[in-house]
Chain A
Amino acid sequence: MILTPAKLVFRTGLAGLLLLVVMAGCLLIGSQDISLQKVLQGPSIEGVPNSDYEILVGVRLPRIILAAIVGAALACSGVVFQAILRNPLADPYILGVSSGAGLGSIVAVLLGWTWTFWGLSALMVASFIGAMGTVWLVWSIGRVTGRVHVTGLLLAGVVVNALFSAVIMFLASIAGAKKFQTTMLWLMGSFAELDKMAPLLASGVVVVLGILFILMLGNHLNILSFGREDARSLGVSIERTCFLAFGCAALITSVAVSFSGLIGFVGLIVPHAVRLVAGPDHRQLIPLSALVGAAFLVIADAVARIVVAPAMLPVGVVTAMTGGPFFLILLIRYTKTIHWGQS
């Protein structure tokens, strides 16, 4: 039952294949029927622009790629938070990290910061600062309420989440009616606003690098889930590991949030499902969660596009509607079987 490189590569390959199939499938479905044959004829047919090609390559493809990037980022940072907080109920959305990133983004928008640098925008930087600040805040509050007591941390996250969401609403309200509308849509999580490929590529690279770096911490995370004392006597430097893992998780979360707003529960459901099938080893959990999370969000986005077509649901509504009940079931199950915290 020991993980070998061959096993890991095989399983990751399988999940990667699944993701590709899902992406290809979702590329072909939508509110508008398009024919694959017509698409293959290129951007224009005899001088007339090919509308099917335009929809598929210009609209759906970037949207699906973005959904995959965001899904991978959120699922992977869910894994990190669950491991370090030793709590299967942790997730960047529930802990308020997403809304911290969101607050950063909003502030950047209101202050009119619009510079970009190699596809990385001021928006991303601001939301990264927001996310890191929230991790620090939640961690310190949780620390005060007891030696990194999980319940305290979760409560701190819930409160911070509510507070930041309220501040975001407030900022949006004073910014004017039109901005309020778009902000609300963005708050619920949506992939609608995307027109360029360059920022997509840049953020894709950042997220993939972040996930690979977290993967290198796989053994550390395995050991940390046994508690700080144990981790220390097994040779894991706790401060360093927490700093690196939280940093990476906050980074990829903020990239996701700056693009698509607050999408909840992906970081909660996906690691759980993967753990049920593939076991708790983080070296495997991290890449598999990233790929499955990507596939999950691509599907959720397809649902959001189709259900009320020609209008569109924010994808966050779809994930929250599936994730909320799931969270409750988990909460009931775990309070029964686990003694909370240091029992």
Chain B
Amino acid sequence: MSFIKIHDVTFGYEHQPVLKALSLAVEKNSFWAIVGPNGSGKSTFLNLLSGQLKPQRGTIHIDDKPVASFSTRRLAGVLSMVRQEFVPVFGFSVRQAVMMARFYKRKTALFEESDDIEAVESALAATDTMAFADRPLRTLSGGERQRVFIARALAQETPILLLDEPTCHLDLKHQVRIFDLLRQMQVEQGKTVLLVTHDINLACQYCDRVLLLGADGTYFQGNPEDVLDSQRIEGVFHVKGYQGLVCREKFFIPLGNFSKDRPKE
């Protein structure tokens, strides 16, 4: 029995269908990468899972209960979400922002308990953000801020973790660290992780399963090695490239008209 069950889901914006009859079964404790070209519906997919959007057709169940039946507060205990965009308004500090993850656990209490503080401290430690815990969010670099929002998702202590391009502003070291951290959460805490990424190589290295969304609502799912082969990548992204294997890691290098090696016709 699968943990998240997506059945025949269709969703589109005004004049543009995005997802068509998508069916997917996500096992508990699995690590999924969602990849695809811009506008193929990756973020839409996450928003459907998190209940922010409602499918126009089809159903989404988590733990055998329809997502629509969860209250906002209960859903916050099941899924946490790391988003791309962030607009700072007031000068909240890193620690205060991470502490907001604990909101749903308190009924009406105005103040944090000691277990809230412990959870926040360990989330800060795990994401390497302790050093600037008391700085205002808006003074951080994009990469630092990204890690803070991952810390917040960890402090939320949910079985499911959704991330929308969590490594997009990060340098190589922190990209690898984030993937290591997510994998560690999967193994040690039994979390189910679904992340949207443009980094096919990291997805191939770390993820158990891949959902590749193509244009016009087509999709492929399966093991990364099978789904992300060069022919399919070239077909979906309309880009040629080299695919190779070093030891056990499979990789893909895109080629353009002005790269040193030009794509062969």
The contact of A235 among B76, B89, B96, by CB within 8 Å, is B76
The contact of B134 among A1, A87, A233, by CB within 8 Å, is A1
Contacts of B74 in A (CB 8 A): 235
Q: Once the chains bind, are B89 and A4 in contact (CB under 8 Å)?
A: no
Q: Once the chains bind, are A222 and B100 in contact (CB under 8 Å)?
A: yes
Q: Once the chains bind, are B110 and A218 in contact (CB under 8 Å)?
A: yes
Q: Report if B103 contacts A (CB, 8 A).
A: yes
Apart from the given pairs A227-B87, A343-B85, 5 other A-B contacts in the complex at a CB distance below 8 Å = A1-B134, A5-B110, A223-B100, A235-B103, A275-B91
Q: Report if A338 contacts B (CB, 8 A).
A: yes
Q: Once the chains bind, are A5 and B111 in contact (CB under 8 Å)?
A: yes
A215 to B110, CA, bound (A): 9
The contact of A280 among B81, B92, B101, B108, by CB within 8 Å, is B92
Q: Once the chains bind, are B83 and A230 in contact (CB under 8 Å)?
A: yes
Of the listed residues A219, A237, A341, the one surrounded by the most CB atoms of chain B closer than 10 A to its CB is: A219
Q: Tell me the nearest residue of chain B to A341, going by C-beta.
A: B87
A5-37, CB under 8 A of B: which get 1 and which 0? Answer: 100000000000000000000000000000000
Could you give 22 example pairs across A and B, Cβ below 8 Å?
A1-B95, A1-B134, A2-B95, A2-B99, A4-B111, A5-B110, A216-B108, A219-B110, A220-B103, A226-B86, A232-B51, A233-B79, A234-B76, A234-B101, A234-B104, A234-B156, A235-B74, A235-B103, A236-B103, A237-B73, A281-B96, A343-B87
The contact of A229 among B52, B79, B92, B93, by CB within 8 Å, is B52
The contact of B112 among A2, A223, A225, A229, by CB within 8 Å, is A2
Q: Once the chains bind, are B91 and A279 in contact (CB under 8 Å)?
A: yes
Contacts of A230 in B (CB 8 A): 83
Interface magnitude class on chain A: 35 or more
CB distance from A276 to the nearest CB of B (A): 9
A188 to B263, CA, bound (A): 74
Task: List 10 tightest A-B contacts by C-beta distance, closest first.
Answer: A235-B76, A235-B104, A280-B90, A233-B81, A235-B73, A237-B72, A86-B89, A223-B100, A225-B89, A280-B91
Q: Report if B143 contacts A (CB, 8 A).
A: no
A238 to B73, CA, bound (A): 11
Interface residues of B in 78-133 (CB under 8 A from A): 79-81, 83, 85-93, 95-97, 99-101, 103-104, 106, 108, 110-112, 117
Q: Report if A88 contacts B (CB, 8 A).
A: yes
Contacts of A219 in B (CB 8 A): 100, 103, 106, 110
The contact of A216 among B52, B89, B90, B110, by CB within 8 Å, is B110
Q: Report if B167 contacts A (CB, 8 A).
A: no
Q: Report if B77 contacts A (CB, 8 A).
A: yes
A322-343, CB under 8 A of B: which get 1 and which 0? Answer: 0000000000000000110111
